[in-house]
Amino acid sequence: MEYDKILAQIQQEFSDTQPSGKVASYIPELAKVPASKFGMHLYDLNGENYQFGDSAERFSIQSISKVFTLSLAMKVMGDDLWNRVGVEPSGDPFNSLSQLENDSGIPRNPYINAGALVVADVLVSSFTNPKAALLTFLHELTGDTSIDFDYTVAASEQSEGYRNYAMVNYLKSFGNIENNVEDVLDFYFHQCAIAMSCRELAQAFIIFANQGTTLDSDREFLTGRQVKRINALMQTCGFYDEAGEFSFEVGLPGKSGVGGGIVAVNPYHYAVAVWSPPLNHKGNSALGMAALERLTTLTGYSIF
Ligand code: DON
């Protein structure tokens, strides 16, 4: 597959496009990121890299981090995790509180905020230093030990994170948070504030295209069964109330973040990351989705 030509075509097609949508501003630090940033990086199972634009610049991965924390929680807790968080799409925005009451504090899935906070609680219970454990996981996946939290972004979200405070307190009232709510939120705000580039995200996500094993070190981080489940959840829940639209347009498992990043995997073929900060009204990168739609259309294959 001539990914170099296809990525060049995608860059060219969108070169004059003014992305629709708005850069996230509810986390004040994110509002400072230029709307014009645009980059894409594809890493295939032959170990080849293809990229364009701002693909090497780090940005705030935000909810993309939920795939990494879910991976760690599945490793440490096994199938018991599913007693505390569901596996159904919510059809609601990522930060919705409304279903929790009817569902007695069991979040619909691990990618909505409520589910990610339960996953964060599992990691806070499981590791003496959960933030260090998460960074170590990313360093091992990418071979790059400079990947770190952006502490300014973490503090910025914490200063305005009223809804997440409400969510974790509500979860705790149902008995679905074991730890001090401040400790869970501190971990959650930091996981969202990890800074990575499209290149680093594509390299970290290659395990989800390769049955849980990295290409360079040939190390198995997850089993094939775990990868099947993580990808299935990305497909059905990775874009919240826009998961259907992303499946319809792109046809790959993927995960978005309000920093404007999207990572998607084509199992047995590649992992791809795209970054464009302006978000559509569902909170997903507008240009990122359009670029990935072109990728699966121009290559002629998605998972469907
Ligand atoms: O919880 C929040 O509001 C953010 N830290 C993460 C949200 C996010 O990226 C949602 N995804 N598209």
Report the alpha-carbon distance of residue 43 to residue 208 in Å, rounded.
Answer: 12
- Ligand 1, residues 258, 262, 274, 276: which to mutate, most atoms within 8 A of Cβ? 258
161 within 8 A of 18, measured Cβ to Cβ: no
pLDDT bracket for residue 294 (50, 70, 90):
very high
Q: Among 10-19, 143-152, 272-281, which is the least confidently predicted range? A: 10-19
Instruction: Verify whether ligand 1 is closer than 6 Å to residue 257 (CB atom).
Output: yes
Beta bridge partners of 42: 50, 272
Give the mean model confidence (pLDDT) for residues 137-155.
97
- Compute the distance from residue 64 Cα to the ligand 1 centre, in Å: 8
pLDDT per residue as tens digits for the range 122-137: 999 999 999 999 999 9
Report the alpha-carbon distance of residue 219 to residue 141 in Å, rounded.
Answer: 9
Amino acid at 224: G
- Compute the distance from residue 63 Cα to the ligand 1 centre, in Å: 5
Residue 190 maps to a domain: yes
Instruction: Verify whether ligand 1 is closer than 6 Å to residue 251 (CB atom).
Output: no
Instruction: Verify whether ligand 1 is closer than 6 Å to residue 60 (CB atom).
Output: no
Instruction: Verify whether ligand 1 is closer than 6 Å to residue 191 (CB atom).
Output: no
Distances (CA, A) of 244 to 22, 89, 192, 238, 254: 21, 10, 24, 10, 12
Q: For the chain, how many structural domains are there in total?
A: 1
**DSSP state at residue 284:** S
pLDDT of residue 18: 79
- Compute the distance from residue 26 Cα to the ligand 1 centre, in Å: 10
82 within 8 A of 230, measured Cβ to Cβ: no
Give the mean model confidence (pLDDT) for residues 26-51.
96
Residues 6+ apart with CB under 8 A from 129: none
Q: How far is CA 182 from the centre of its chain?
A: 23
pLDDT of residue 237: 96
pLDDT of residue 157: 94
Instruction: Verify whether ligand 1 is closer than 6 Å to residue 157 (CB atom).
Output: yes
pLDDT bracket for residue 43 (50, 70, 90):
very high
* Dihedral sign for Cα atoms in the order 235, 281, 64, 94: negative
pLDDT of residue 16: 84
Give the mean model confidence (pLDDT) for residues 242-253.
97
Residue 304 maps to a domain: no
Question: Which protein residue has the closest C-alpha to ligand 1 atom 4?
Answer: 62
Residue 57 maps to a domain: yes
Residue 182 maps to a domain: yes
Report the alpha-carbon distance of residue 171 to residue 104 in Å, rounded.
Answer: 9
Question: Which protein residue has the closest C-alpha to ligand 1 atom 12?
Answer: 257
- Ligand 1, residues 26, 30, 113, 152: which to mutate, most atoms within 8 A of Cβ? 113
pLDDT at residue 19 is higher than 80: no
Question: Which protein residue has the closest C-alpha to ligand 1 atom 11?
Answer: 257
Starting at the edge strand found earlier in the chain, the sheet holding 148-149 runs 59-60, 194-196, 148-149
- Mean of all residue pLDDT scores within the chain: 96
- Compute the distance from residue 109 Cα to the ligand 1 centre, in Å: 14
Residue 137 maps to a domain: yes
Q: Which domain holds residue 132?
A: 3-299
Minimum-distance ligand 1 atom for the alpha carbon of 62: 9
Residue 275 maps to a domain: yes
Residue with tokens 């509810």: 26
Q: Of 94 and 63, which is predicted with more confidence?
A: 63
Report the alpha-carbon distance of residue 130 to residue 247 in Å, rounded.
Answer: 33
pLDDT at residue 155 is higher than 90: yes
Element holding 196 (H helix, E strand): strand 194-196
Residues flagged as binding site for substrate: 63, 113, 157, 164, 188, 240, 258
Tell me whether strands 194-196 and 148-149 are parallel, antiparallel or unpaired: antiparallel
59: domain CATH number is 3.40.710.10
pLDDT bracket for residue 109 (50, 70, 90):
very high
Instruction: Verify whether ligand 1 is closer than 6 Å to residue 95 (CB atom).
Output: yes
Q: Among 86-95, 123-132, 225-234, which is the least confidently predicted range? A: 86-95
Minimum-distance ligand 1 atom for the alpha carbon of 94: 10
Q: Of 266 and 18, which is predicted with more confidence?
A: 266
